[in-house]
Structure 1
């Protein structure tokens, strides 16, 4: 009887997942209309993303759970949604 044991490296898997999230986040911003505006020392970035009504609740759940924390991790502050 042959048994194969595999060791799962969760740290490596997490790093790969975070790289993928950064790529997906960038792709998510591509179809949106984004405009930076600098007032004094601050830069304001407004992005408008079009989402179909059927996927609106999924988008808000994704933004709340994944996208907003990722943006805040990179020093973006969300002032309105």
Structure 2
């Protein structure tokens, strides 16, 4: 049932992830730097996540699902014109 823990964690983090993506894109609106922005976002989220002493899930297990969610958020923002290319 670990998948339920992952789903709940991603959904709980989603509002913060959406905001973080917007902030990062606003601060660094350079096209073609998606990999660097994703790496920065991972570092930021991982640093915060690792300060939680009672986490039931390691960040390494959470990251693949979180990375997919970030990709979906960025794709939606790009397709709706939220992020200007």
Q: Is the structural similarity TM-score above 0.5?
A: no
Compute the TM-score of the two structures, normalised by the length of structure 1.
0.34
From the two aligned structures, give the one with the greater helix fraction: 2
Structure with the bigger RCO (C-alpha within 8 Å, sep 6+) is 2
More strand by percentage: 1
Q: Which has more radius of gyration?
A: 1
